[in-house]
Structure 1
Amino acid sequence: MFITVLHADKEQTLFNIHCKISVLLDSIRSHCHCEYEAEIDLVDENAEVKNLLDRRDEYASLALREREEYALVSVRWLDDSEQPLYTLLLQDQVPQHTRFIAKLRSKQGSRALGIQPQRKRTKRISTLSRAPQ
C-alpha cells in the first residue's frame, strides 16, 4: 500500500501508507526536505486537502487511497483568517506537475481553499563574490 507524493522541482516519492499519519508526515518531511517544524499536508487532483494534521493518530490508509498521486502543500495560518493558506510545493515547468496543477486549477475548490502554486525560485549570481583573475 503506497502513494506517490509530488514535490520540489522534479521529484516524486513513494510512501507506505500502512502506518499512522504522524509517522507518514514525519517521513514526508524527512524525504521531501521540509523543515522539521513545517506544517504540511497533501492535496489530491480534485483540490481536496486531506487535513492530515487533524487526524495524526489515525492510520494513513484510512485517509488516503493507495496508488494515488498527491501534491505536497505547506500550511500557513494567517492572523486575520480562520482558514489556512495552502501553498503547493511544486514547480510548474515539470510535465507531470503541470498536468496535476492544471487539474487542480480547474477545480472550484482550489481557490476557495486558498491553494496557490509555489513561486519559481530564481538563482542570484553575485558579481561581488567572484575574485578577479
Structure 2
Amino acid sequence: MFIVVKYGDNKQQLFNPKCLAQALLANIRERCGCSEDDVLDLSDEDGNVKRISKRLDEDPEIVFRDRESLILVKEIKMTSSEGAEERLYMPLLDQLEDDDSFIKRLNSSGPKRGAKRLSTTAGGSGKAASSGPADKANNGGSLSSRRVSNSGARLSVDKGGSRRSSRIK
C-alpha cells in the first residue's frame, strides 16, 4: 500500500502509511521541506481532512485507500482579540492556495478541538479578511492563503458588522 502526497508547485511524493502517524508525518515533513513548527495533516482531493495529526500513536493506514492522492495541509492557529482560538487548515499545494471553495471545504467539517466558530451571532457572517489589498473583494467570508499568511500578520474578523483583530500564533 502507498499514498501520493501532493504539495508545493505541483510536486508529489509516494509514502508508505504502514507506520505510526507520528512517523509518517515526520517523513512527510522531511521529504516535503516543511518546518518543524508546522502542524501538518492530509486531506483528500475533496477537502476532507484526515486528522492524522490528532492520532499520532495510531496506524494511519486505516484512513487511507491504496494509491490515494492526498493534499498536504497545514493547521494554522488564530486567536481573536477576545481570546477565542480558531484552527484553520490551509493547503500546501500551490494550485489550491487561492481556491476559496476548496479552502471552505477543508474548514467546514465542524469545529476543531478547542476552537470557537466565528459566526456565533444570529445573522453573523463569520467573515475573515486581511487588511491588505487582496481583501478588497471579500469573497463571502471564505478564507484563502492570500489572507492568512505564515508571517503572523493581523487579520480582521468581521462578525455581524463589527471588526475584530486576530493574530496567527
Calculate the TM-score normalised by the size of structure 2.
0.57
- Deviations, residues 39-60 of structure 1 (Å, cap 9, x unaligned): 1111112211111111111102
Which residue of the partner structure matches residue 110 of structure 1? 106
CA distance in 2, matches of 1:64, 1:47: 14
* Structure number having the greater strand percentage: 2
Task: Return 5+ residue gaps in structure 1 as ranges.
Answer: 120-133
Task: Return 5+ residue gaps in structure 2 as ranges.
Answer: 110-141, 148-169
Give, as a single letter, the amino acid of the residue that structure 2 aligns with 1:3: I
User: Size of the alignment, in residue pairs?
Assistant: 112
Give, as a single letter, the amino acid of the residue that structure 1 aligns with 2:76: R
Identify if the C-alpha distance between structure 1 residues 26 and 111 changes in structure 2 by more than 3 Å, giving closer, same or farther: closer
The structure with higher relative contact order (CA 8 Å, sep 6+) is 1
- Deviations, residues 46-101 of structure 1 (Å, cap 9, x unaligned): 21111111111110211222211110111111113444111111122xxxx79xx9
Give, as a single letter, the amino acid of the residue that structure 2 aligns with 1:27: N
Percent identical among aligned pairs is: 32
Identify if the C-alpha distance between structure 1 residues 91 and 62 changes in structure 2 by more than 3 Å, giving closer, same or farther: same
CA distance in 2, matches of 1:40, 1:107: 15
CA distance in 2, matches of 1:59, 1:17: 8
Which residue of the partner structure matches residue 88 of structure 2? 85
CA distance in 1, matches of 2:18, 2:73: 21
